[in-house]
Amino acid sequence: MSSSIRLGEIAHARSGDKGGHANVGVIAYNQSGYEYLRSVVTEQVIGEFFAGLQPSRVERFELPGIHALNFLLHNALQGGASLSLRTDTQGKILGLAVLEMTIPRPENLEPMQKES
Amino acid sequence: MSVKSIRIGNGAGFWGDNLDAPRQLASHGKLDYLTLEYLAELTLSILAYQRSKNPESGYVTDLVKVVKDITPQLTGDAPLKLVTNGGGMNPVGCAKAVSQVLVDSGLPHVRVAAVAGDDLLPRLEELLNAGEVFAHFDNGQPLGQLHERIVSANAYLGAEGIVDALAENAQIVLTGRITVAALVVGPAVHEFGWSWDDWSRLGAATIAGHLIECGAQVTGGMYSDWNPSIDLGTIGYPVANLREDGTSVISKPSGTGGEVSIGTVSEQLIYEIGDPEKYFTPDVVADFSNVHLTQLADEEVLVEGGTGTEAPPTLKVSMAYYDGFTTSGSIVVAGPQANEKAHAAAEAIRVRMKTAGYELEHFEYECLGTGDTLPGMDLWHQSSQEIVLRIAARDHRREAIDRLTRELTPLVTSGPPGITGYTESRARSRPVIAYWPTTIPRDMVKTSAEVRAAQEWLV
């Protein structure tokens, strides 16, 4: 058994822009997944994953009622939609990207996964 | 005894959204209010530019068609009300255009409101002379000499103007720049009689507004748990059934495609927010942090736990100014070694620009199809035998950008083999409109609503 999993096995996500900052929301499928996310998906982990975007700072916020963490990646969008030369000027695809992040496999994975 | 509630549907999340969505909601949403959100940051500066060329223009012209489409719902025992920020830079001009449609459709008595007060451009000199420095929201720099290049300067208004208009029996309310949640908060305050310091319920209604403001993004669009069985072709636009206690139920017209689930609603709740405890609007600082969701029925999600704290003493102001020129364009590179050839083509452009005397201030290229939409990240990197080479640049010299727009096509004959797809359109130069986010004390901004019957707007 692999010792790591895709974040997307226990969470879904959405991202967008706040001016020149990107927001990446990560939503666990349930309470047990949320508790695990809180312990492993830190500001540092997200900062390293998105290092290529050169965020000046990463902030993490909690929305326990929907089992979600919100990450604000400061200055990660080349100055924002009106200045950026990128295709993804507004950080729309960062949510799908973060779901590909590998995280350590939790001891009890099954209850964290989406009910099918 | 049933709880009083109002049904508000949002049929546009930006200017350019699906043109049939307002009619879908008006016909099948059983709505009390239809809202339409049109003003992204860039949209208002485009409208300001249009108005500078023609003083009659500067509003969202889609509204003319939309109002024509929904005329059947504007009459009867419980006529629909429309609240939108599509007035843009010219709510009065918009009111006249919409009124013409109403009169032509035999509805001369429908009352139309134009809400004003957000446009600070005519007052900019006066405000600067009075000592406002308009410090940049992020870095604290004063506006200084930049004010000479300002294209638009608009304060984000709250719901007050909408409430005033509805109190004067307006059935169509047209605003300019406004906090988008006010499109929902305004009707709620009007219908429920909430006081302006009822922070908890104002916060909860703001959250309902946030959930529907991007249209189909809460009903299955953009959903990261996408699967092919979700019918997007007939996707329904969202309805918030907002109750007097501030809780709401998100749904969509029956028989439409898409999905309303805890998954789709939670994704939209978190979309484009920062600190969930401090979602600033002119009416309230909404607190999203303890929102929780319950699937009440198929395609119905209950939203509870939203609250808020006292409104801030300042209003956000969004200024836009010209800041040079930009362009982007693409060609297709196909066949073996496509990656290497795309890079060679882009480097050839760089060399040719330098030979022409231009070292661009900002020049970037992406090899789309190889993982380049995530710049600097290896996540989706792969080689490909079919690449869209996209170049983009920004520079303060118009002539430098104009020259770059001519550099893609010559690659067809003077580049590596396998270049095609150049006929779709040539790259165009366009001005960069940059932003200056700032604030203003709220007592410096006066909101007003002018309400007249359609036939009176045309006099």
B302-322 pLDDT, tens per residue? 999 999 999 999 999 999 999
pLDDT for position B425: 67
B139 and chain A: CB distance < 8 Å anywhere?
no
A55 and chain B: CB distance < 8 Å anywhere?
no
Domain ranges of chain A: 4-107
The pLDDT confidence band at residue B1, using thresholds 50, 70 and 90, is very low
Burial B97-123 (b: 16+ CB within 10 A, else e): bbbbbbbebebeebbbbbbbbbbbbee
pLDDT for position B346: 97
What one-character-per-residue DSSP string does B416-450 give?
Answer: -TTEE---S-----EEEEEEEEEEEEGGG---EEE
What residues of B are in contact with residue A66 (Cβ under 8 Å)?
262, 266, 269-270, 291-293
- pLDDT tens across B215-239, in order? 999 999 999 999 999 999 999 999 9
Tokens 């200017």 correspond to B15
A48 and chain B: CB distance < 8 Å anywhere?
no
CATH number of the structural domain B320-436: 3.30.70
- pLDDT tens across B250-305, in order? 999 999 999 999 999 999 999 999 999 999 999 999 999 999 999 999 999 999 99
Q: What is the DSSP letter of A106?
A: P
Residue pair A63/A69 in contact (Cβ under 8 Å)? The answer is: yes
Interface of B with A in 55-74 (CB under 8 A): none
For A16, nearest residue in chain B (alpha carbons): B272
What residues of A are in contact with residue B180 (Cβ under 8 Å)?
none
Q: A116 - beta bridge partners?
A: none
Kindly state the percentage of chain A with pLDDT values over 70: 98
Interface of B with A in 272-311 (CB under 8 A): 272-277, 288-293, 305
- pLDDT tens across B409-433, in order? 999 999 999 999 887 667 899 999 9
Q: How many CB atoms lie within 10 A of CB B41?
A: 17
Domain ranges of chain B: 5-318+441-457, 320-436
Q: Do B292 and A27 touch (CB under 8 A)?
A: no
Residue pair A70/A61 in contact (Cβ under 8 Å)? The answer is: yes
Interface of B with A in 226-245 (CB under 8 A): none
Helical pair B21-28 and B62-69, crossing angle rounded to 10 deg: 20
Q: Name the minimum distance, in Å, from the CA of A114 to any CA of chain B.
A: 10
Q: Name the minimum distance, in Å, from the CA of A17 to any CA of chain B.
A: 6
Which residues have CB under 8 Å from B347's CB, separation 6+?
none
